[in-house]
Amino acid sequence: MPSKAPGLDTEVTRLSGVGARTALLLEKLGIYTVQDLLFHLPIRYQDRTRITPIGATLPGQECLVQGEIELTQVKFGRRRSLLCRISDGSGALTLRFFYFNKAQQNSLQRGRAIRCYGRISSGGAHEMIHPEYRLLVNPADEEVDDTLVPVYPATEGLHQNRLRKLTDTALRLISKQPSRLLELIPAPVREQYDLPDLCDALHYTHRPPPDADTALLLAGKHPAQQRLAFEELLSMFLGLRRIRERVRKHSARPLGNGQALQRRFIDALAFTLTGAQNRVLAEIEQDLARELPMMRLIQGDVGCGKTVVAALACLNAIASGFQVAVMAPTELLCDQHYRNFSHWFAPLGIDTVILSGKLRKAERQSALQALATDTPLIVVGTHALFQKEVSFAQLGLVIIDEQHRFGVHQRLTLLKKGARGDVYPHQLIMTATPIPRTLTMSAYADLDVSSIDELPPGRKPVNTVVISNQRREDIVERIREAVNDGRQIYWVCTLIEESEALQCQAATETHDYLVQALPGLHVGLIHGRMPDRDKESVMQAYKAGDIDLLVATTVIEVGVDVPNASLMIIENAERLGLAQLHQLRGRIGRGSSHSDCVLMYRPPLSELSRQRLETMRSTSDGFKIAEKDLQLRGPGELIGTRQAGLPQLHIADLVRDAHLLPEINRVADRVAEQFPEQSRQLIARWQQKKMGYGNV
């Protein structure tokens, strides 16, 4: 009996050539069925329609070259590699392979013609690493491709050619039976926005025809791509809308009556609240007065006063007889919040307790017992707040600092801890990484957003300079002068490696060098591998002025507040992203004196690094920096796709397609209300299998 022809819901394991190993690799990409293959779209295209002379190739360029093999040899060193040198009369190029076999080595014989596609290395050597190549029999008769070649999101062990062949299978299927591919965007929406047919758009995007507008395709702006981007973004908004609806099906206790406590709190402050702080506080209080759980994000630049606004929100909960949980991502920031809240709230007769990993058993037990009572109090904690034995008697408000350090599921877990039946706590989230409007509409669409876009009066901008590390001795001399002027200094060590051990080693070596170079100065050291008590001791000594120069890893990035620190040197600044550089720079400029930040780099700079450092030099505006960071790095890197809960986009681009977002946001409301079944299917098609998204 002939086997049944595969359908769109057929598992990929039934396709020819897909064994257990390939199936596992496809599963990593969220590909389980033939339909999943169709919606696994190219992330870019390679232009193999023309051959570039080797002599005209540039570092970082992706290109097609052709030449004659001059030499093939195995090089032994720290890592064995196969080197193949080719030339075409205009220049020479080395092909380097780290993974190879004897047969491959033997096939790359001197005198043979070869055609290669790959990226020219950006380092010193003029080479391609692991290019795609083909040995030619009659070079003069070998034509180049007449279409762009799609490049798919892949995983290690799964070659692009394999994905292209599997996609061919899926495309052939819908060519024979186009009706089996459901159009999930409702007809009125397709007509309103003149969206192309789904089958046509998929064919065009996977396999652009010879007469395709290559410039539009390479830019991702072809109508076929934009039609698919529209559908993918629509599914994302529907998924985020689902999360929001699920949480808001719950009720909450209204929290008010905090005005008397707030007045006493404000009167005790040494400064006046800014207009932006007062505006955001009013937005929060409006939410807290309702019987729906607040889900609000406060964003604002470093030093804009988010913590004070959060403290004022706490007083509404305390006055209403409820507890407040404040969660911070690091022990250092947790300690700082604990000190601030204790200092502010003790005169008001409000207890503040801390719950973090470093507590002794007796201290921990005491904190747990306090939470289990009905007494209104503030608990400041790290991830320790998630732990099973932590139980709240009356949790009315959850405050999460540095939201991007926690995932959607983590913050929802903490909310559930405070739930009593269908009654949930209110939620306030803070971030010192300003979020571009594009991401606010997408990654944080399940939240209401407030912006503190005004710095306290008198806060001076930090002067930023960019200097090569070849001028290290000049910088050391500048430190000596700064200390003589009564200033304190940070020297931040960074390494491109993720290894914390290597970062600590670099900081230790820099500390030893600066101790020798600056005799008579008190040079301190802090890094992630030090015991928490030692870290706290060093920071307290620095805050007290007992340390002139503090050598640190990026452990000081978030939340450390030393007003007298007014000079920062960031070593290897070209290795950090804009958001991290801005966070680090925010550690200085908190006092009344002039502050300077020195971004020290190791030449030569790549174009991307040059743009980052120039942005830091030219502006202190966190919102402008966030917009530039989004342009340079893309949304996935900027906020951490998995951490923030933003689904992985395969064809849409939040920067390129920003113009679509307001309209799609409105369409999502319409589709969810008028076409609930299509709404569910759209989420399932694009999101659910890939990320487990929406299953909150």
- For 19-60, the pLDDT digits (tens) are 899 999 999 888 998 888 999 988 888 888 889 999 999 988
What rounded mean pLDDT belongs to the chain? 85
Return the structure tokens found at 221: 């702006």
With a cut of 80, say whether residue 147 has pLDDT above it. no
Lowest-pLDDT choice from 2-16, 164-178, 490-504: 490-504
With a cut of 50, say whether residue 641 has pLDDT above it. no
With a cut of 60, say whether residue 242 has pLDDT above it. yes
Q: Select the more confidently predicted residue: 537 or 352.
A: 352
With a cut of 60, say whether residue 689 has pLDDT above it. no
Q: Is 207 helix (H, G, I), strand (E, B) or coil?
A: coil
* Residue 446, pLDDT score: 67
* Residue 156, pLDDT score: 83
* Residue 696, pLDDT score: 29
Lowest-pLDDT choice from 6-10, 29-33, 262-266: 6-10
Q: Is 204 helix (H, G, I), strand (E, B) or coil?
A: helix
With a cut of 50, say whether residue 639 has pLDDT above it. no
β-strand partners of 87: 68, 92
Lowest-pLDDT choice from 31-45, 136-150, 442-456, 535-549: 442-456
Give the pLDDT mean for 611-620: 92
Name all domains of the chain by residue range, CATH numbers in brackets. Answer: 1-49+152-179 (no CATH), 52-144 (2.40.50.140), 182-251+663-696 (no CATH), 259-452 (3.40.50.300), 463-619 (3.40.50.300)
pTM > 0.85: yes or no? no
With a cut of 70, say whether residue 76 has pLDDT above it. yes
Helix or strand run (H / E) with residue 64: strand 62-75
Lowest-pLDDT choice from 86-90, 284-288, 622-626, 661-665: 622-626
Q: Is 303 helix (H, G, I), strand (E, B) or coil?
A: coil
Return the structure tokens found at 656: 């390129």
* Residue 25, pLDDT score: 92
Give the pLDDT mean for 218-228: 92
* Residue 569, pLDDT score: 96
**Quick one: pLDDT band at residue 90, thresholds 50, 70, 90?**
very high
**Quick one: pLDDT band at residue 634, thresholds 50, 70, 90?**
low
**Quick one: pLDDT band at residue 487, thresholds 50, 70, 90?**
very high
Give 3-state DSSP helix, strand, coil % of the chain, rounded to 5.
45, 20, 40
pLDDT, tens digit (0-9, with 9 covering 90-100), for 379-434: 999 888 888 888 889 999 999 987 555 655 666 777 788 888 889 999 998 887 77
* Residue 28, pLDDT score: 87
Return the structure tokens found at 294: 């607040």
Does residue 404 contact residue 583 with C-beta atoms inside 8 Å?
Answer: no
Give the pLDDT mean for 346-351: 95
| 601 phi, psi to nearest 5 deg | -125, 160
With a cut of 50, say whether residue 2 has pLDDT above it. no
How much of the chain exceeds pLDDT 90, in percent? 45
Lowest-pLDDT choice from 360-374, 378-392, 486-500, 669-683: 486-500
* Residue 267, pLDDT score: 94
At 126, which amino acid appears? H
How much of the chain exceeds pLDDT 70, in percent? 90
Cβ neighbourhood burial of 382 (10 Å; 0-12, 13-18, 19+): buried
* Residue 695, pLDDT score: 33
With a cut of 50, say whether residue 694 has pLDDT above it. no
β-strand partners of 525: 551
With a cut of 90, say whether residue 236 has pLDDT above it. no
CB proximity list for 369: less than 8 A, separation 6 or greater: none
Give the pLDDT mean for 460-488: 92
With a cut of 50, say whether residue 640 has pLDDT above it. no
